[in-house]
């Protein structure tokens, strides 16, 4: 598996930056669709993870707030979901792998930036149509309080997950599927 060049320069690939405002990380755009990215930032001690993106609607718009809240809850940190608004026009038409005809823009960037908290609360979203600023208080003590209360790290099976991922990376990996004996037998 090839590691993107930018991550080769950063030990661990999911750095958390200790600042005067808290321990901050950045999960870039499409990375929000991968739960292990969120987990890695949490294991590295993040208290706030910003997720800037330039995403158009359709499939991802309903998923974005769910992914952010789930990450905040499961990892006991705040998530700042940031998405641009409007359209970007290009001088030359282009095609994409989506099978649609040529066009000069990606579609509408749906904005809706918001902050999700580890207690499952969420700020109201910003506009879908125009730029804006969101100012919110984040009590970083809430991260520790909920981490202690829920005990997700205590009850996780990290050694099992590590072994499963190591097996998954092997070319001869076979998923662990236990079939119901009442199902018809598959012919080879």
Dihedral, CA of residue 106, residue 112, residue 46 and residue 11, to nearest 10: 10
State the average pLDDT over residues 67-85.
Answer: 94
Whole-angstrom CA distances from 147 to 47, 74, 78, 135 are: 11, 9, 12, 24
Find which of 6-10, 11-15, 122-126, 166-170 is predicted with most confidence, using mean pLDDT.
Answer: 166-170
Q: How far is the C-alpha of 33 from the C-alpha of 60, rounded, in Å?
A: 9
Residue 70: how many CB atoms within 10 A of its CB?
Answer: 16
Give me the pLDDT at residue 6, please. Answer: 52
In this structure, the strands spanning 103-105 and 109-110 are: unpaired
Please check the confidence at residue 68 and state whether its pLDDT lies above 90.
Answer: yes
- pLDDT reported for residue 88: 84
Structure tokens at 121: 């609360």
The CATH label, of 3.60.20.10, 3.30.1300.30, 3.60.110.10, 3.40.50.460, for the domain at 5-168 is 3.60.110.10
Q: For residues 29 and 52, is the Cβ–Cβ distance under 8 A?
A: yes
Closest listed residue to residue 105, CA positions, set 39, 155, 57: 57
pLDDT at 89: 87
pLDDT at position 21 is 93
pLDDT tens string 126-176: 888 888 898 999 999 999 999 999 988 888 999 999 999 999 999 999 998
């Amino acid at each position: 598996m090839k590691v993107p060049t930018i991550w080769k320069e950063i030990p661990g690939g999911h750095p958390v930056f200790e600042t005067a405002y808290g321990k901050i990380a950045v999960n870039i755009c499409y990375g929000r669709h991968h739960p292990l990215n969120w987990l890695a930032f949490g294991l590295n001690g993040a208290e706030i993870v910003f997720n800037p993106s330039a995403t158009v609607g359709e499939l991802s718009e309903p998923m974005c707030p769910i992914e952010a809240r789930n990450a905040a809850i499961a990892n006991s940190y705040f998530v700042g979901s940031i998405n641009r608004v409007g359209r970007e026009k290009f001088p030359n038409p282009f095609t994409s792998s989506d099978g649609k005809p040529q066009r000069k823009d990606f579609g509408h960037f749906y904005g809706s930036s918001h902050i999700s908290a580890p207690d499952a609360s969420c700020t109201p979203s910003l506009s879908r149509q125009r730029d804006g600023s969101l100012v919110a208080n984040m009590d970083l003590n809430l991260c520790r309080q909920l981490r202690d209360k829920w005990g997700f790290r205590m009850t996780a099976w990290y050694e099992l997950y590590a072994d499963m991922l190591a097996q998954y990376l092997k070319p001869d990996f076979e998923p662990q599927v236990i079939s119901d004996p009442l199902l018809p037998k598959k012919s080879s």
